[in-house]
Structure 1
Amino acid sequence: MARAAGGGCRKEAAGWEGDEGQCDSGIESLRSLPGGRDAPAGVEPPVPAEEPPEEKRPADEPPAEERLDSSYGSGALPEALPRLPPACGTEEPPPAAKGLSRRQLEALNFVSEDGDTLVHLAIIHCAPDVALFCIAHLPREMLETQNDFFQTPLHLAVYLEQPVVVEALMRKGVNPGLQDRNGNTPLHLACEQQYLYCAQQLLQGTAEPPEHHQDLQLQNWQGLACLHISTLKGNIEMMSLLLQSGANIDVQEGTSGKTPLHLAVECCNRRAVQFLLLNGAYVDAQMYNGCTPLHLAVCHRDAAIASILSHSGADTLLRNMENETAQDLADGNDDLLALLPFDDLKISGKPVVCSE
């Protein structure tokens, strides 16, 4: 009998039949596993008394019908893998670790041509029961395997929002600080996708082992830390979670030195600006070119945010590398100029405002 892709067996789909209870996985590289053999036409294959010997795949066997894609967003669905728990199409209960057969151990240690382990594939194709089975029986080092895109199973579990798998991997003690080909850790992806529960799972239990402590200031290849990403998304709950977990509120991104407050101003997000200021963000933080958040607010002609910054004590006379103050940039805009003092006189570093 044949069943739909992603859930069951496919009779003679790849030119061979497995032992009783075994189904064709649809994965080309798994054909090298022992047990697959062709019977001559019209002849009933004998039932072996014991495990049949390994045989090489015939040279004229047709190629695999599909190739698994390990990149984010893969949509291909695989056939069930041989002799795995019920989630993969067999009806046998999951065996205990010490009761695994040689063939099952080989399947658990399978690595595809894209560098994906069986855990990667189970997560990609939304088979959490298979993923949890593998996590329970594989050593931590195998669970930290990075594929050709430098993705670990934890990256994929977060990206595809599978918090149960995320929790199981974290309990196993995998390293949450490994970076993919874009420099993103799983926490970067959780912030990008705004998966708050996955982020909570990643930020819990990072003390074991101690060398796997989550570095909240770690930047991806775009120079962004997790707090930068959540600020750009305007996700106040995620920002709050990161700050409670120890993120530096004034961390500078790597390309221009912007702090989260700079980014919130650039996004014209008044709520994020107020949130950061209330939580202690430095109002006069300067980028690499010397611009403060107030410089950016004036450049964007955002009088409302400029007012918030001014009332929070922003220094209107700080100069950037172009020797410009916020007043200089506000020239010609009456709404902004009304917020800024005109005297350059300072006492103890604070500008003196002349009253009428």
Structure 2
Amino acid sequence: MSSGGYKKDESLEENRTDSGIESYRSLVKSDEPRESSGDFSAPRDKFSGGDERLDSAYGSSSITSLTEIVEECRISSSTEQAQISELSEQEENLLTTITEDGDTILHLAIIHEEEAIAQELIEIFPKDVLDIQNNLYQSPLHLATYLNLTEVVKGLLKKGASLELQDQDGNTALHMACQHGQTECATEMTSEVSLSKLAPVLETQNWRGLTCLHLAALNRQHQIMCLLMKKGADLNIQEGTSGKTALHLAVELHDITSVKHLLSKGANVDAAMFNGCTALHLAVGRQDAAIAHLLCQSGADTMLRNMEDETALDLADGNDDILALFPFDDIQISGRSVVGVKF
């Protein structure tokens, strides 16, 4: 895969899983790593997804020729060494090479959506190889998720592929599923993995400070949001730039469905951003009477002040529907609130 001129962060480079192929090479008969004998061609831009480049340095003929090789590599743990030792030098090189873009043959099979080949390679390779990250820090699980290859995702998870690896944007594979709406992949990652392994992933923030729940809220992925909440995602965790919770993000998007989901699961209605604004401040400031009403029904404190010393009422800007949400019992005429009363 092409790095697209991406300059690696040195701290990330230190943590990159790029030596796992050696554990596989130890299984083959040659002790010396060889240069790849695969048929390489120029990179091709088969896929492009914003910051995620999904192009391959392997020619399609190389992928096609894998079918016969993989058939010969169907191995059991009891005969692993014997069968691998029978591979030709060309086959060994093809299976153990890493391209100049950091891709293993498993990365490339996934990129080309050769699911059958990918599944065979998952069975053949040890876990360390499954977690190798390419030059964009994408693991095979990242790529399978991006391409919505649910069965490949399932196979990787079953073999123990790590959910915690982060790509060049700090996204785990679950982050990607939340961002792109890959609901089936997200379901596999939240149901096939133990809660102890899932918990740190749910708390992980990408380099923009966003957790999986934040991304699901930003992209209106209601079903995925429910999955994350069911698995114990922290509803009140703040994103790293301005301190917004998922509730703040849903309010900003006028997404009343997400607001209802979050409130029903116990999200803190009065959680404040770094500047002191609550979800009610945001709803009133955006003149969203429906969401403001829902927040008030859920017990939002109308008198909380932000760092500008403003209450939500101060942001109402004369909107009668909004003002009607803020009656003051101590300012009444004939038992009626003066709010909305014309003199």
Scaled by the length of structure 1, the TM-score of the pair is 0.74
Match of 1:206 among 174, 183, 193: 193
Identity of aligned residues (%): 44
1:229 Cα deviation (Å)? Answer: 0.9
Shift of 1:82: 8.1
Shift in Å, 1:102: 4.4
What is the CA RMSD across the aligned residues, in angstroms? 2.9
Secondary structure of 2:54's aligned partner: coil
- Which residue number in structure 2 is paired with residue 78 of structure 1? 59
AA partner of residue 277 (structure 1)? L
Counterpart residue identity of residue 237, structure 2? V
Shift of 1:205: 3.2
For residue 333 of structure 1, the aligned residue among 313, 319, 327 is 319
The residue aligned with 2:42 is: 66
Q: 1:156-305 to 2 correspondence within 5 Å?
A: 156-207=143-194, 214-305=200-291
Structure 2 segments unaligned to the other structure (5+ residues):
1-33, 337-343
Amino acid at match of 2:120: F
Task: Specify the code of the residue in structure 1 equivalent to 2:131.
Answer: E
Matches within 5 A, 1:3-14: none
Asked if structure 2 preserves the Cα contact closer than 8 Å seen for 1:85 and 1:94, the reply is no
Deviation at 1:74, TM superposition (A): 3.2
Bigger helix share:
2
CA distance in 1, matches of 2:178, 2:224: 7
Superimposed CA distance per residue, residues 129-172 of structure 1 (whole angstroms, 9 cap, x where no aligned partner): 22112111111111101111000000000001111111111011
Q: CA deviation at 1:204?
A: 2.9
1:291-332, CA deviations, whole angstroms, 9 ceiling, x for partnerless residues? 011100111011111111111111110000010101111142
> Conserved in 2, the CA contact under 8 Å of 1:108 and 1:138?
no
**Residue type matched to 2:215 in 1?**
I
For residue 137 of structure 1, what is the aligned residue in structure 2? 124
Question: Cα offset for 1:342?
Answer: 3.4
Retained in 1: the 8 A contact 2:70–2:121?
Answer: no
Within 1, Cα distance between the matches of 2:330 and 2:303?
7
Please tell me whether the aligned partners of residues 85 and 92 of structure 1 are also in contact (alpha carbons under 8 angstroms).
Answer: yes
> 2:130–2:161: 8 Å Cα contact kept in structure 1?
yes
The amino acid across from 1:74 in the alignment is L
Change (3 A) 1:304 1:212: closer
Partner of 1:318: 304
How much does 1:260 deviate?
0.9
| Map of 1:123 onto structure 2 | 110
Q: Structure 1 68/83 Cα, relative in aligned 2: closer, same or farther at 3 Å?
A: closer
TM-superposed CA distance for 1:232, in Å, is 1.4
Distance 2:108 2:135 in 1: 13
Summarize the Cα distance change of 1:301–1:83 in structure 2 as closer, same or farther, 3 Å threshold: closer
Deviation of 1:275 after TM superposition, in Å, equals: 1.6
Deviation readout 1:175-203 (Å, 9 max, x if unpaired): 11100000000000001111111011112
Q: Which fold has the larger relative contact order, with Cα–Cα distance below 8 Å and residues 6 or more apart in sequence?
A: 2
- Alpha-carbon distance in structure 2 between the residues aligned to 1:92 and 1:310: 61
Amino acid corresponding to residue 222 of structure 1 in structure 2: R
2:141–2:153 Cα contact (<8 Å) kept: yes
Larger radius of gyration: 1
Whole-angstrom CA distance in 2 between matches of 1:91 and 1:113: 22
**Structure 1 gaps, min length 5:** 1-30, 37-63, 346-351
| Residues in 2 aligned to 1:118 and 1:207: alpha-carbon distance in whole angstroms | 28
What is the number of residues matched between the two proteins? Answer: 289
- Measured in 1, the distance between the counterparts of 2:313 and 2:252 equals 18
Q: Distance in 2 between matches of 1:34 and 1:261?
A: 53
Q: Deviations over 1:252-309 (max 9, x none)?
A: 1111111111111100111111121111111111111110111001110111111111
1:91–1:170 Cα change, 3 Å: closer
On the 8 A contact 2:43/2:55 being kept in 1, the answer is no
**Alpha carbons 1:120, 1:152 under 8 Å: kept:** yes
1:96 is the counterpart of 2:74: yes
Deviation, structure 1 residue 66: 1.5
Structure 1 residues 127 and 321 mapped into 2: Cα distance closer, same or farther (>3 Å)? same
Structure 1 pair 82–102 and aligned structure 2 pair: CA distance change class (3 A): farther
Contact 1:140 1:174 in 2 (8 A): yes
Equivalent-residue separation in structure 1 for 2:38 and 2:146 (angstroms): 35
